[in-house]
Amino acid sequence: MSARIGPRQTLAAASLALFLIGLSSASASSQTLRAVQARGSVVCGVNEGLAGFSIADDKGAWSGLDVDFCRALAAAVFGDPSKVQYAPQSADGRFEALQSGKIDVLARNSTWTMGRETGFGLSFAGVNYYDGQGFLVRKAQGVQSALELDSAKVCVQSGTTTIDNLGDFFTGNNMKFEPVVGSSAAETLKDYEAGQCSVLTTDVSGLYALRLQLAKPGDHVILPDIISKEPLGPAVRQGDPQWADIVKWVLFAMIDAEELGVSSKTVGQALKSNKPAVMRLVGTEGNFGEQLGLTKSWAANVVGMVGNYGEVFERNVGSKSKLGIPRGLNELWNMGGIQYAPPIR
Ligand SMILES: N[C@@H](CCC(=O)N[C@@H](CS)C(=O)NCC(=O)O)C(=O)O
162 lines ligand 1 (CB under 6 A): yes
- Measured in Å, residue 326 CA sits from the centre of ligand 1 at 20
The end-to-end CA distance of the chain, in Å, is 57
156: Cβ below 6 Å to ligand 1? no
For residue 339, report the distance from its CA to the centre of ligand 1, in Å: 22
DSSP output for 157-205: ETTSHHHHHHHHHHHHTT--EEEEEESSHHHHHHHHHTTS-SEEEEEHH
Residue range 16-72, pLDDT digits in tens: 444 444 444 444 457 999 999 999 999 999 999 999 999 999 999 999 999 999 999
In tens, the pLDDT along 147-171 reads 999 999 999 999 999 999 999 999 9
Phi and psi, residue 194, nearest 5°: -80, 0
- The confidence score (pLDDT) of residue 8 equals 53
As a whole number of angstroms, the distance between CA 53 and CA 66 comes to 5
200 in contact with ligand 1, CB cutoff 6 A? no
Residue-by-residue DSSP string for 246-263: HHHHHHHHHHHHHHTT--
Q: Is the CB of 91 under 6 A from ligand 1?
A: yes
Which ligand 1 atom sits nearest the alpha carbon of residue 110?
Answer: 19
Give the residue from 245, 165, 166 showing the smallest Cα distance to 199. Answer: 166
Predicted local distance difference test score (pLDDT) of residue 30: 76
SS percent in the chain: helix, strand, coil, step 5: 45, 20, 40
- Cβ of residue 165 lying under 6 Å from some atom of ligand 1: no
Instruction: Looking at the CA of residue 94, tell me the nearest atom of ligand 1.
Output: 6
Model confidence over 118-136: pLDDT tens digits?
999 999 999 999 999 999 9
CA-proximal residue: ligand 1, atom 13 (nearest): 185
Q: Using 70 as the pLDDT threshold, list the residues of the chain that sit under it.
A: 1-29
Can you tell me whether residue 341 is helix, strand or coil?
coil
E strand or H helix at 311: helix 309-316
Measure 29 CA to ligand 1 centroid, in angstroms.
30
| Ligand 1 center–CA 9 separation, angstroms | 57
> Best mutation site among 106, 122, 135, 157 for ligand 1, i.e. most ligand atoms within 8 A of its Cβ?
157
